[in-house]
Amino acid sequence: MRWWWVRHGPTHEKAFVGWRDVPADLSDRAAVDRLAAALPRDALVVSSDLRRAVATADAIQGARPRLPDAEALREFDFGAWDGLGFETVAARDPELSRAFWERPGDIAPPGGESWNAVAARVNGFVETLSREAGGRDVIAVAHLGVIMTQLGRALGSASAAMGHQIEPLSLTCLARGKGDGWVAECVNRRP
């Protein structure tokens, strides 16, 4: 079984975007079509319930079966940082913001979620849907942070995942390994 993680289309935001419901720019139809063609034709499609992910899933779905949109696949809740620029957050919370990126774990933005909280939320969803899918592949349209938690799971640590870039409209494929483990087959692939 494989999970084909797709990051939603670009938002062009220059600030933290967590649960704020901003649209995706899907005007690059050639890129969207290449991505759709690179995905397995018989996989199930599921999406975060935020509109940037929903619209991306709509654009790549084709004839594939669609599951209900899932709140569990939402981006990190950045709390008080959502909507603020990166420099503003660094000036406002210098030690906390540095620790959030350098030591992902239980550190969270004010009123937001930590890496461990998001990973637990997404891991639970992935395990449940994996059982329900009966071995079928899943295409999950989600967000940078969500995909990074799953990449960290496959690579063995959050720190290992943080060394990767996950671009809009990219594909990261994780395969079920031995036992309950996951193996990264490709990361940030742009078909």
* pLDDT tens-digit readout, 14-23: 999 999 999 9
Domain 2-189, what fold?
Answer: Rossmann fold (3.40.50)
Q: pLDDT digits over 69-90, tens only? A: 999 999 999 999 999 999 999 9
Does 179 score more than 90 pLDDT? Answer: no
Measured N-to-C along each axis, helices 51-61 and 29-38 cross at an angle, to the nearest 10 degrees, of 70
SS (H, E, C) 58-119: HHHHCCCCECCCEHHHCCCCCHHHCCCCHHHHHHHCHHHHHHHHHCCCCCCCCCCCCHHHHH
Residue carrying the six token digits 């940078």: 144
Residue carrying the six token digits 């989600």: 142
Does 181 score more than 90 pLDDT? Answer: no
What percent of the chain has pLDDT above 90?
A: 96
Does 118 score more than 80 pLDDT? Answer: yes
Residues 6+ apart with CB under 8 A from 128: none
Over residues 99-119, mean pLDDT: 96
Rounded to whole angstroms, the Cα distance separating 63 from 56 reads 15
pLDDT of res. 178: 73
pLDDT of res. 139: 98
Neighbours of 15 (CB within 10 A): 17
Give the confidence band of 3 by pLDDT, cuts at 50, 70, 90: very high
Neighbours of 191 (CB within 10 A): 13
